[in-house]
Amino acid sequence: MISEYIDLDMINKKYPNLIYDSNKNTISGSIKICKNCNDEIISGCYDLLIDFNKSSIPYVYDVGKKIKRNYEHCYSDRRLCLATDIEQLLFIRDTKSICLWIEKYVESYYISYEYFQKYAIYPFGQYSHGNQGIAEFYKKYFNLNNEENSLNIIKYIFFNTYRGHNLCPCGSNKKIRNCHGNIIIKCKQDPNYNLLIKDFRRWFNDKK
C-alpha cells in the first residue's frame, strides 16, 4: 500500500505543520512554500488534506479553498490535479518517499498555481489531463518521440512473453535485449504491476 511510504521523520522535519493521523490514514495541516521561480520569489501557505485511502496514489484536497474555482487543474471536489496517476505512482515507488513526492508534486503545484495567477503562464510548462497526459508520460518514460510506438511497448508488456531476441516493439528494428528490454522486464516484474494496470488499461482501451 502507498501509505507504507509515509516517511514521517522526514515529513516532520521538512513540513512541521503537517500531521499524520494513523487512524484515518491521512495527513492534514498546512504547507508553506517559498521558492525562487524564474527570478521571482513565489510564496504562500495552503491548508490541505492528503488522503491515502482513495486510490493507489495519495489524493490531495484543497481544504483551505485557496485555489480558485476556475483553475483548470483542480477537480470539482477540490482535489488537486497534480500529474497523471502513473507518473506519481512510479515516482513514489522508485523513491519510496511521500516526503519527496510532496516536494515534487504538491509544492510544485502551488508554485505553479501562484505563478499562473500572476502571469497566466505555467512556469514548468503545461501538462495534459487524462489519457493525453498518460500518453505523454509514457513517451517520456520509454524515451520515445512517438505515441504509437510507446503504445506498442505497453501492448507487448501486457500480452507477450519476453523474448530477448524478438524485435523491440518500439520500432527501432533492434532486438529487444539491445533496446527496451530492461524497462520491459522491469514493468513485467513490477510488484505493483496490478496498480500500474489501471492507467495502462484506461489508455489502451481508449486507443483500441
Whole-number minimum distance, CB 148 to Zn ion, in Å? Answer: 13
| Residue type present at position 29 | G
Site for Zn ion in 71-110 (CB under 5 A): none
Q: Number of helices (H) and strands (E) in the chain: give both, helices first.
A: 8, 4
Which residue, 48 or 168, has its beta carbon nearer to Zn ion? 168
Which residue, 137 or 142, has its beta carbon nearer to Zn ion? 142
Whole-number minimum distance, CB 99 to Zn ion, in Å? Answer: 34
| Residue type present at position 202 | R
Whole-number minimum distance, CB 170 to Zn ion, in Å? Answer: 3
Whether the CB-CB separation of 49 and 26 falls below 8 Å is answered with: yes
Total number of residues that touch Zn ion (CB under 5 A): 5
Whole-number minimum distance, CB 174 to Zn ion, in Å? Answer: 6
Site for Zn ion in 126-185 (CB under 5 A): 168, 170, 172, 179-180
Question: How far are the Cα atoms of 37, 153, 176, 180 from residue 185, in angstroms, in the given order?
Answer: 38, 11, 10, 9
CB atoms within 10 A of CB 130: 12
Which residue, 100 or 170, has its beta carbon nearer to Zn ion? 170
Closest CA to 26 of 56, 48, 10: 48
In the complex, which residues of this chain contact Zn ion (CB under 5 A)?
168, 170, 172, 179-180
